[in-house]
A and B are shown apart, each in its own frame.
Chain A
Amino acid sequence: MQSLSALDPWPDSFQWRPVSSRLIAAELTERAIWLVVLLGGSAIAWLFTQSWWAVAVGAAVLVLNIIGAIFGTLAVRSYGYAERDRDLLVRHGRMIRRLSIVPYARMQFVDVTAGPLERMFNIATVRLHTAAAASDAFIPGLRPDEATRLRDRLAALGEDRGEGL
């Protein structure tokens, strides 16, 4: 945990909230689906060509996917967000660490999305947009009630500033 808060500008002044661990399940499922498709592809290729390249590709896909799954799980654990008085903090990433500070007053709109896999695992993604294209704070893996609560709170906090930019 110490390493995760290395970028934290206000250390120990608030609690980071983690995202739901169902996000790990969702990501692993997605990865497994891709793995089955790709392994199936190389198996078919091997059946038709008897080429050892197909086996090598299949093995590489398997190894890369296992490594990816480990890092993906760690990356999900690195997600965190915190609602402060005036701004929302979102952090993620373990290899490349990112921390966004988005003032509520700068929010243009808030999106809540849930893809088919996310719906299956009953989670949703909240994404914040400001007028700057570069600043997108993005929190995946929220329970629907938490996503709705966050959206409503963000919308209410951002509402009192209607003036252009």
Chain B
Amino acid sequence: MTQENGHALITRQRLHPLSPVLKGLRLFVLAVVAMSWRSLQQLHFWTWLAVVAGLFVILLIYSTIAWRFTGYEVIGRELRIYEGLISRRVRTVPLERLQAIEVMQPFQAKPFGLAELKLDVAGAQRSEAPLAFLPMPEALALRSQLLALSGGHSTAVVEEETEHELRRVDNNAVVFSQLLTPPVMFTPIAVLYIASQLVFNEDRGFFTIAAMISAFVATIGAPVMRTLNFWDFRLARSADGKLRIRHGLLNSRSQVVPVHRIQSLTLTWPLLWRAKAWLRVTLAVAGQTSVASEGGKAETDRLLPVATLEEARAVMPYVMPGVDPANLPMTPVPRRVRWLAPLRARVLAAGLHDEVFGAVDGFATRTLTIVPYGRIQSVRLTQGPWQRRLGVATVHADVAGSTPVSAAHRPVEEARAWARDLAARSHAARAAALTPPTTGGH
């Protein structure tokens, strides 16, 4: 790969002038609310208005100065992002390490037609701080340019892209699936508790009620946020084979994932969804934040937020060609494992397919994790003292951006054979991906 240093492919551009205002808006609203809460009674309305106006003017002045330093440019194979007023920063993103890009339109940016760009970069702990904000057409154009450059094209010119839709998730299914989650299931109990408190408790102070309401919001908040996030979920495939994922009611998100950047796939069957035979499909991309570690943040790892197995199988050819999640060569663990894992022993299964390694785990919430051989980073074998007594061991295939695919409690002979096979097959897959120098993957 030749380094074209100093050659500007995209000359330095500024972000939209409204960006700092929009970024500061949330803080501004919070500040105003906090201030009003405390002092609206004491302060005169006009004084209050003057203070709010003053704050807004300060925000405007700050934004104007901050905006003058923001910008981005592409030089050689690097994207440089300039930002910061007090401490200025230039962040450099090597385009080869770019995994996926999401264009997100937050609620407050919608009226202005602005959007932000989130970059998933390999090796970064979380999504690189976004490029915010750009006008929507510019954001979309920049995304295709960056993806073209990261895919090894030497120019930033991209042809008009056509796409065809793979799957549109029914909003009713999204709502219903989110109703079938533990927090919502417990809501009747919470409501009952609150009602009984209101009936029997004499102390109907403001704070008691406020505490109850906030507790209620906290329980039901996550499913509601997910419903809003997965609203109008569309999965499409562009002409050059990249996946396009769009969703969101308040914050619209549009993510482009090159298929060869997908590190692993997980199919999850939650306990409460069994009656409807529903599952969700999540994908791991290196550099993307794992959802668990960020708690309340929006989940952007969904390939399908809710689907039947048939629907999931229907999109597989475009995601991992040749892999059928219903037809993987899975072998169960030996019966003696029930001494170690009485409930999971009947569920645990794993197997080596022609192109992927897959493992099933979980008693209540069942998961099937699949990693293509070409994406395996390293292979590990572990064996605890009880496993040794039963003559079993666990095989892990480590994946970037996700938890390892672990085949638990395999007989030792099989575990060793699998470790050999996984090492050999992942080497073969890497070699095959490297020999045709044009495109890696399918």
Chain A residues at the B interface, C-beta cutoff of 8 Å:
6-10, 86-87, 95-103, 105-106, 108, 130-132, 134-135, 137, 161-165
Contact = CB atoms under 8 A, between A and B. Distances in A.
A101 B400 contact: no
Contacts of A163: 1, 96, 434, 440
Interface in B249-301: 261, 263, 286
B286 A98 contact: no
B174 to A, nearest CB: 31
A131 B382 contact: no
21 contacts: A6-B412, A7-B381, A7-B416, A96-B382, A97-B382, A102-B378, A103-B423, A103-B427, A105-B427, A106-B378, A130-B378, A131-B122, A132-B377, A132-B401, A134-B398, A135-B404, A137-B378, A163-B440, A164-B150, A165-B99, A165-B122
Contacts of A105: 427, 430
Interface in B167-220: none
A100 B400 contact: no
A130 B96 contact: no
Contact of A97 (B96, B375, B383, B396): B383
A103 B420 contact: no
Interface of B: 1, 96-99, 122-123, 150, 261, 263, 286, 375, 377-385, 388, 393, 396, 398-404, 412, 415-417, 419-420, 422-423, 426-427, 430, 434, 440
A142 B261 CA distance: 36
A99 B395 CA distance: 10
A127 to B, nearest CB: 13
B286 A131 contact: yes
A101 B123 contact: no
B154 to A, nearest CB: 15
A29 to B, nearest CB: 28
B399 A132 contact: yes
B381 A131 contact: no
B427 A98 contact: no
A130 B97 contact: no
B412 A101 contact: no
Contacts of A99: 380-382, 419
Contacts of A7: 381, 383, 393, 412, 415-416
A151 to B, nearest CB: 18
Given A9-B419, A134-B403, A162-B96, A96 B384 contact: yes
A135 B382 contact: no
A101 B416 contact: no
Given A135-B377, A165-B99, A87 B382 contact: no
A32 to B, nearest CB: 27
A135 B415 CA distance: 18
A164 B122 contact: yes
Given A98-B380, A98-B381, 5 more contacts: A6-B383, A98-B383, A100-B379, A103-B427, A132-B378
Contacts of B404: 132, 134-135
A7 B401 CA distance: 27
B417 A9 contact: yes
B97 to A, nearest CB: 5
A162 B95 CA distance: 12
Q: Which 7 A-B pairs have the closest CB atoms?
A: A131-B400, A135-B378, A132-B398, A135-B398, A132-B377, A130-B377, A9-B419
Given A103-B426, A162-B1, A96 B385 contact: yes
Contacts of B419: 9, 99, 101
Contacts of B400: 130-132, 165
B321 to A, nearest CB: 19
B380 A101 contact: yes
Contacts of B417: 9
Nearest to A101: B379
B123 A131 contact: yes
Nearest to B426: A103
B381 A164 contact: no
A148 B338 CA distance: 46
Contacts of B423: 9, 86-87, 101, 103
B92 to A, nearest CB: 15
